[in-house]
Amino acid sequence: MTSKDRIRAFIAENFQYDIELIKDDTALLESDIIDSTGVMELVFFLDEEFGVEAEPGDLVPENFNTLNGMERFLESKK
């Protein structure tokens, strides 16, 4: 399972959203799939699941609005 698939499954389960509708470029914030609290849940998930700690400067929409953005964020932290 890829990192995107793991994040997609987390979003579908925790935010009760149809997993089939979460594409790699779906704007999660703009589509109201997640909100600011949801971003924090994602930050905790990424830390727990992938061992990636987000710094305050990392908490920008580019890193958490899409699965593509989260994958780039994870890669930048490796």
**20-40 pLDDT per residue, tens:** 999 999 999 999 999 999 999
Superfamily for the 3-77 domain: ACP-like (1.10.1200.10)
Residue 78: what pLDDT?
84
Q: 47-56, long-range: CB within 8 Å, 24+ apart, which pairs?
A: 49/6, 49/10, 50/3, 50/74, 52/77, 53/77
Give the predicted TM-score (pTM) of the model.
0.92
Task: Give the chain's residues under pLDDT 70.
Answer: none
